[in-house]
C-alpha cells in the first residue's frame, strides 16, 4: 500500500484492543501458571471473542463485551483443559490491566501536542475501557472514549463508525481511524472514515469492500503520515 500524507485530519480515533492495548499481555502475565499454554490460550481466547461479537451481531442478540470476553475465555479454558482454581478470575482481571504497545504513549503525546484530538472507539464496555486507560497511565490522553454500548451492536456495524463523527462533532472525512484488525480498518473505510491500518501482525489485506488510505506496521509511523500533510 503506497502511503501518502493525509491532509485535513482533525482527530485520530483508535481501536483499543490490539491497536493501543496488547491483548496478549493478559495471558503472557499469567504464564507463571499457564506455562507453554499461554500463547495457545491467548490466541484461542481472542479468536472466540471476536467470533462471538460477530455471531451476536448477526443474530441480533447483543451482550456486552465483558460477558463476551468471559464466554470466550471459558471456551478457551475448556478446550485446553485448564481447570485451575482462580485462573479465570485472574485472567479476567488482567484483561482490565492490559499493557500498551511500546510506542503508544509517545505517539499520543505527539498527536495531541500538534493540536489533533484523540479518541477511542471500541467494542469494550465503558467500565472496561476506563479501567485499562487508567491502569496504563493514559488518563487525560483522549478527548472521548466511545463504546459500542451507545448503539447496542458490535463492530463492524456502520452505526458504530458513525458514532465517532457524531460524538466528536467532526465530519468523517476529517477523522483518521486506526485499527490493527484488518476487518475493522476496511469496514471503517467502507463506512466513510479516513483510515490508516496499523498492520501489527503482518496480515494480508482483506477481501472485503473498501481499502484503507494507508498502512503502517505500528503507531510510531502515524505522526509523520498526518503531520507532514498540510491542514485545511
Q: According to the model, what pLDDT value does residue 231 have?
A: 47
Confidence grade of residue 227 (pLDDT, cut at 50, 70, 90): confident
Asked whether residue 229 carries a pLDDT value surpassing 80, the answer given is: no
CATH 1.10.150.240 domain extents, the chain: 24-95
Calculate the average pLDDT of the chain: 96
* pLDDT tens, position by position, 98-109: 999 999 999 999
> From the candidates 15, 64, 184, 213, which is the catalytic residue?
15
- Does 15 participate in catalysis according to the annotation? yes
Q: According to the model, what pLDDT value does residue 10 have?
A: 97
* pLDDT tens, position by position, 158-201: 999 999 999 999 999 999 999 999 999 999 999 999 999 999 99
Read off the DSSP letter of residue 219. Answer: G
Strands (DSSP E) found in 64-187: 99-100, 117-122, 144-147, 175-179
Q: Tell me if the pTM is above 0.75.
A: yes
Q: According to the model, what pLDDT value does residue 4 have?
A: 83
Q: According to the model, what pLDDT value does residue 125 have?
A: 98
Confidence grade of residue 84 (pLDDT, cut at 50, 70, 90): very high
Asked whether residue 5 carries a pLDDT value surpassing 50, the answer given is: yes
Q: According to the model, what pLDDT value does residue 3 have?
A: 79
Work out the average pLDDT over 7-30: 98
* pLDDT tens, position by position, 112-152: 999 999 999 999 999 999 999 999 999 999 999 999 999 99
Q: According to the model, what pLDDT value does residue 232 have?
A: 42
Choosing among 3.40.50.1000, 3.30.1360.120, 3.40.190.10, 3.40.50.720, the CATH entry for 11-21+98-227 is: 3.40.50.1000
The CATH fold of domain 24-95:
DNA polymerase; domain 1 (1.10.150)
Q: According to the model, what pLDDT value does residue 199 have?
A: 98
Q: Are 140 and 118 in contact (CB under 8 A)?
A: no
Work out the average pLDDT over 30-40: 97
Distance, CA of 42 to CA of 114 (rounded, Å): 36
CATH 3.40.50.1000 domain extents, the chain: 11-21+98-227
Work out the average pLDDT over 153-157: 98
Work out the average pLDDT over 24-53: 98
Q: Please list the residues that pair with 175 across neighbouring strands.
A: 11
Amino acid at each position: 500500500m503506497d502511503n501518502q500524507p493525509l491532509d485535513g485530519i482533525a482527530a485520530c480515533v483508535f481501536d483499543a484492543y490490539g491497536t493501543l492495548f496488547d491483548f496478549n499481555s493478559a495471558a503472557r502475565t499469567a504464564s507463571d501458571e499457564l506455562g507453554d499454554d499461554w500463547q495457545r490460550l491467548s490466541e484461542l481466547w481472542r479468536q472466540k471473542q471476536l467470533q462471538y461479537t460477530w455471531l451476536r451481531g448477526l443474530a441480533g442478540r447483543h451482550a456486552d463485551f465483558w460477558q463476551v470476553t468471559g464466554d470466550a475465555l471459558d471456551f478457551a479454558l475448556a478446550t485446553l483443559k485448564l481447570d485451575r482454581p482462580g485462573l479465570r478470575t485472574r485472567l479476567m482481571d488482567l484483561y482490565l490491566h492490559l499493557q500498551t504497545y511500546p510506542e503508544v504513549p509517545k505517539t499520543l503525546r505527539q498527536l495531541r501536542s500538534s493540536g489533533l484530538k484523540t479518541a477511542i472507539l471500541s467494542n469494550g464496555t465503558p467500565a472496561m475501557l476506563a479501567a485499562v486507560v487508567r491502569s496504563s497511565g493514559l488518563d487525560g490522553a483522549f478527548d472521548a472514549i466511545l463504546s459500542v454500548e451507545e448503539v447496542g451492536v458490535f463492530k463492524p456495524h456502520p452505526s458504530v463508525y458513525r458514532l465517532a463523527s457524531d460524538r466528536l462533532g467532526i465530519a468523517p472525512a476529517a477523522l483518521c481511524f486506526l485499527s490493527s484488525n484488518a476487518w475493522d480498518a476496511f469496514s471503517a473505510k467502507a463506512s466513510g472514515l479516513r483510515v490508516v491500518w496499523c498492520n501489527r501482525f503482518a496480515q494480508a489485506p482483506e477481501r472485503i469492500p473498501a481499502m484503507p488510505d494507508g498502512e503502517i506496521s505500528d503507531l510510531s509511523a502515524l505522526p509523520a503520515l498526518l503531520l507532514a500533510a498540510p491542514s485545511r
